[in-house]
Amino acid sequence: MAETTEMQEIILENIDLQAFYGIGNENLARLKEAYPQVKLVARGSSIKAYGDPVALQAVRRLIQSLIAEVQQKGALPTRRVAEIIAQHRYTPPTAEENPVSSGSPPAFMPILRTVSGNVIVAKTEGQRRLAEAIAKYPITFAIGPAGTGKTYTAVAFAVKALKERTIRKIILTRPAVEAGESLGFLPGDLKEKIAPYLRPLYDSLEEMLSNEKLEQYLAQNIIEIAPLAYMRGRTLNDAFIILDEAQNATRLQMKMFLTRFGHNSKVVITGDLTQIDLPRPETSGLLHAVTLLERVPDIAVVRLDENDILRHPLVQEIIRLYEEDAAKRQSGPTSHHSR
């Protein structure tokens, strides 16, 4: 247990205690296994937790999620307990990790509250490192598979900065060429052409801002969502700029993008290097930029993996199997790249 030990009491209200604890207190046993650094003492409707403050915050959030599950479903199967624990995975910082600098959030510090009242918080070690990097560095690369919260975390920080008025504008952009298609060959006007590419960004914003406020910001260009090509020739000061799906940007596009941001701006670049849709994957601007810039002092590169996936547990298994299959194909004597 950590040298700084605190106690928090969590009261289990308005729930079926038997459903919460499980048969033979099995659910409580799973909680203790998931958080060996925290001592849990349960008596009836009271759970007392002893440990360091950061771990206690994580335990409290986990227990509150379990309480909500019982209140909503009236039951708490062990399978569901395992899923919720996975979503709230906590790894204590190691001695080798750099201390959090001034202005960076401590592990699992809440980032933003959604319109529905839920708190957006880093739920895995990878997300914690990403949150620290975004808070600290002017440019952050976030690389990892689908479901790791790369874009969602970046958008949360952007909205937070806008609400705190540390920036004047949010710019969200994606390459508008995927799977060999270009905008010119798609049906409809420009807005209709780019809508499918930008929909994931709208989805995140709609969770964090009311419809009225989002429409106001879009109308006033305080929030701008546009294809990557529209960034050319601009200098962006006092802005939070997010490049999503960056693995599909070419080297020239990436260079153009990275030279757009100006004073008091922050840039987050997200992508998945296993999902490059360019005809020649080796021309990916994200791959090249990370190789070229990773050691620059004011640039952070955060790599997330299947352990940071917060979607359905099956997504982790699907990604793992695809990665294993890709590795076998690459190591084969006659392997060819195919998508």
pLDDT of 203-216, one tens digit each? 888 889 988 998 89
* Residue 77 tokens, joined: 């199967």
- Please state, as a whole number, how many other Cβ atoms lie within 10 Å of the Cβ of residue 284: 22
Please report the pLDDT score of residue 106 as a whole number: 42
Cα–Cα distance list, 145 to 216, 270, 273, 286, 308 (Å): 33, 10, 8, 14, 9
Average pLDDT for 236-242: 91
Please report the pLDDT score of residue 1 as a whole number: 34
DSSP letter for each residue of 161-227? HHHTTS-SEEEEEE-S-BTTB-GGGSSS-HHHHHHHHHHHHHHHHHHHS-HHHHHHHHHTTSEEEEE
Q: How far is Cα of residue 23 from the mean position of the Cα atoms in its chain?
A: 35
Long-range contacts of 312-315 (CB under 8 A, 24+ apart): 313/82, 313/83, 313/86, 315/146, 315/147
Domains defined along the chain, listed by start? 6-87 (3.30.1370.10), 110-331 (3.40.50.300)
With cut-offs at 50, 70 and 90, classify the pLDDT of residue 2: very low
With cut-offs at 50, 70 and 90, classify the pLDDT of residue 78: confident
Q: Distance (Å, rounded) from C-alpha 122 to C-alpha 107? A: 8
pTM of this structure: 0.61
Q: Distance (Å, rounded) from C-alpha 131 to C-alpha 156? A: 10
